[in-house]
């Protein structure tokens, strides 16, 4: 049995993708059920129910936020995750080198392979790819689905430009060795990619047992602007104002309110503790993707 879960808030054209999913699965003679989410958290419950019912795979159709909820519901189960991207950043699709077409993604059910990766947590919420606190998360908090559907990644850029005019809170990062670092923004990355196909963590390993912490140490609007420009050119890792650390846990707090996000979706206010867990997620990927 194949469970298909999609988010109608991913935009009006997501219906076209669902029609193609229906046609593809029907042509392959695979039994399936299609379910539509109505509110945040629905995909978590639906995916968990599918796993308990013994579904072979759950096909998540939508953006990285939909993927995150489905992955959270499948965490620790034998049910596999198949992702058909239809979102703003589509970091998951780029991280795992997924095909561009619906048909290509569904073909992986027979032509791909299944890998198991450890999931990370931000407080009590699982995430697969990346999380952040500070500036990046505050931009995500201020974005609305309509903006993302109309403008795509441009919506994030415009929201970021507006937000950079605001004063930014100071973050305190606490590492496992009790080292404390003052920063303006921090990214916690499991793989290598960030939105828009930016390689933010060249040494990231989605199949590993740690994550990469990328922290902007320097304060001010120009520091954020320069970090973004350097990241787009792949030069941020050489900056003396950027700290890059590999670890399995990180605690982040701030003296004034700030935000956190996971896989491109707003999580909540700080403080937040990021950790690597022993919980595995089974993901269907192309055969060419390196095995853990």
The pLDDT tens digits along the chain (292 residues) read 999 999 887 767 888 899 999 999 999 999 999 999 999 999 999 999 999 999 999 999 998 989 999 999 999 999 999 999 987 678 899 999 999 899 999 999 999 999 999 999 999 999 999 999 998 898 887 776 666 655 556 655 656 666 676 777 899 999 998 889 999 999 999 999 987 689 999 999 998 999 999 999 998 888 988 998 999 899 999 999 999 999 999 999 998 899 999 998 999 999 999 999 999 999 999 999 886 6
Sequence length of the chain is 292
3-state class (DSSP) for residue 94: helix
3-state class (DSSP) for residue 108: helix
* Together in a domain, 104 and 184: no
Yes or no: say if 200 and 194 are a contact pair by the CB < 8 Å rule.
yes
Q: Is residue 232 part of a domain?
A: yes
In degrees rounded to 5, what are phi and psi of residue 178?
75, 10
Six token digits for residue 12: 């009006």
- Burial (0-12, 13-18, 19+ Cβ within 10 Å), 194: buried
Give the Cα separation of 261 and 268 in Å (integer).
7
* Together in a domain, 107 and 132: no
Number of domains the chain is built from: 2
* Together in a domain, 96 and 131: no
Q: Is residue 177 part of a domain?
A: yes
Q: Is residue 19 part of a domain?
A: yes
Domain of 192, in residue numbers? 126-277
């Amino acid at each position: 049995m194949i469970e298909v879960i999609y988010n109608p808030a991913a935009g009006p054209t997501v219906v076209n993708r669902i029609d193609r999913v229906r046609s593809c699965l029907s042509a392959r003679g695979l039994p399936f059920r299609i379910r539509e989410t109505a509110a945040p958290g629905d995909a978590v419950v639906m995916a968990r129910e599918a796993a308990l019912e013994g579904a072979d795979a759950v096909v998540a159709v939508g953006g990285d936020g939909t993927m995150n909820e489905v992955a959270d519901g499948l965490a620790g189960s034998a049910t596999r995750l198949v992702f058909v991207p239809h979102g703003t950043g589509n970091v998951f699709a780029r991280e795992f080198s997924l095909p561009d077409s619906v048909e290509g993604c569904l073909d992986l059910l027979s032509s791909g392979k299944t890998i198991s990766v450890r999931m990370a947590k931000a407080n009590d919420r699982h995430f697969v790819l990346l999380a952040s606190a500070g500036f990046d998360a505050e931009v995500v908090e201020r974005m609305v689905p309509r903006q993302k559907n109309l403008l795509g990644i441009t919506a994030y850029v415009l929201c970021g430009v507006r937000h950079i005019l605001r004063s930014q809170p100071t973050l305190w990062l606490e590492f496992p060795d009790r080292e404390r670092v003052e920063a303006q923004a921090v990214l916690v990355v499991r793989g290598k990619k960030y939105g828009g196909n930016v390689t933010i963590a060249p040494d990231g390993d989605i199949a590993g047992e740690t994550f990469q912490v990328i922290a902007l140490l320097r304060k001010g609007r120009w520091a954020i602007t320069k970090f973004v420009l350097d990241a787009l050119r792949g030069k941020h890792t050489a900056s003396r104002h950027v700290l890059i650390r590999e670890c399995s846990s990180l605690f982040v707090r701030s003296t004034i309110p700030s935000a956190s996000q996971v896989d491109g979706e707003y999580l909540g206010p700080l403080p937040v503790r990021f950790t690597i867990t022993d919980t595995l997620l089974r993901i269907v990927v192309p055969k060419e993707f390196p095995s853990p």
